[in-house]
């Protein structure tokens, strides 16, 4: 998948988020052991029994392997830079961390009695995707597996539906975290930019030719 608009330079907020995530990943891979994951990854029963409440935030910066972190950071770079230019660095970073944390809370509530751990920035990245779809609905991206252009609003709708369909599956992917990020991002933006009418009628918005900005 590829799509870039505007300046090709990386913005400071996106850059710092990527560098921070890479730094944590290197510590995780080469210095820390499994205990690091149990302390800073999201383990619902540890939040209850040990009061590791920070886990709903810190799990965002941990990743399972190179492909996991590469995909999340690629999407953050591809869609996040333009949003940061639109909103400003402070608002963008707040949105990323807030929606990622809400996705973490969603995971905790969904898997309340689980010892399994969840890691990764995917919830925050899905929130970035829904933001891009709401602000730039008719921008087109190219899918690498199927080299045809598709509008961002349709792409996000499709992946949202797929995540919902796959929700009951036990495949090692936190579909509830992805959905939590999508919904958190949508509700936040609907409230934050209410004066523009963003998200008031999501199904009608799918067929608009221009975004609110």
Domains of the chain (ranges; CATH) run 12-205 (1.20.1540.10)
Higher pLDDT among residues 138 and 168, named by residue: 138
Higher pLDDT among residues 182 and 112, named by residue: 182
Report the C-alpha gap between 91 and 94 in whole angstroms.
Answer: 5
The answer to whether residues 120 and 60 touch, using CB atoms and an 8 Å cutoff, is: yes
Phi/psi at 21 (5° precision):
-65, -40
Please indicate, yes or no, whether the overall pTM of this predicted structure exceeds 0.75: yes
Q: At a CB cut-off of 8 Å and minimum separation 6, what does 202 contact? A: 186
CA-to-CA dists, residue 88 to 22, 24, 32, 199, angstroms: 23, 25, 34, 21
Closest CA to 57 of 92, 101, 23: 101
Considering the chain, what is the average pLDDT of its residues? 87
Among 19-23, 26-30, 126-130, 192-196, the least confident range:
192-196
Q: The tokens of 52 are what? A: 């590791």
pLDDT at 184 over 60: yes
33: Cα within 13 Å, side-chain hemisphere? 1
Q: The tokens of 3 are what? A: 């799509």
Q: What is the CA radius of gyration of the chain?
A: 17
Task: Identify the pLDDT of residue 141.
Answer: 86
Q: At a CB cut-off of 8 Å and minimum separation 6, what does 159 contact? A: 126, 129
pLDDT at 182 over 80: yes
Task: Identify the pLDDT of residue 167.
Answer: 84
Task: Identify the pLDDT of residue 203.
Answer: 44
Q: Tally Cβ neighbours within 10 Å of residue 117.
A: 21
State the pLDDT confidence band at 198, using cuts at 50, 70 and 90. Answer: low
What does the pLDDT look like over 23-41, one tens digit per residue? 999 999 888 888 898 899 9
Higher pLDDT among residues 155 and 198, named by residue: 155
The answer to whether residues 180 and 121 touch, using CB atoms and an 8 Å cutoff, is: no
């Amino acid at each position: 998948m590829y799509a870039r608009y505007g300046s090709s330079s990386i913005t400071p907020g996106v850059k710092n988020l990527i560098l921070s995530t890479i730094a944590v990943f290197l510590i995780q891979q080469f210095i820390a052991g499994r205990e690091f994951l149990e302390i800073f990854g999201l383990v619902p029963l540890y939040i209850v029994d040990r009061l590791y409440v920070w886990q709903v935030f810190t799990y965002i910066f941990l990743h399972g392997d190179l492909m996991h972190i590469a995909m999340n950071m690629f999407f953050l770079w591809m869609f996040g830079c333009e949003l940061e230019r639109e909103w400003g660095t402070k608002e963008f970073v707040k949105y990323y961390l807030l929606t990622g944390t809400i996705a973490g809370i969603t995971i905790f509530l969904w898997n309340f009695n689980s010892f399994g751990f969840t890691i990764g920035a995917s919830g925050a990245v899905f929130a970035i995707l829904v933001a891009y779809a709401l602000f730039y609905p008719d921008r087109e991206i190219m899918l690498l597996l199927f080299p045809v252009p598709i509008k961002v609003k349709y792409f996000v709708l499709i992946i949202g539906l797929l995540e919902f369909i796959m929700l009951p599956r036990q495949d090692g992917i936190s579909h509830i975290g992805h959905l939590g990020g999508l919904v958190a991002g949508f509700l936040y933006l609907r409230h934050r930019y209410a004066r523009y009418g963003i998200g008031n009628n999501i199904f009608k918005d799918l067929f608009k030719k221009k975004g609110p900005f």
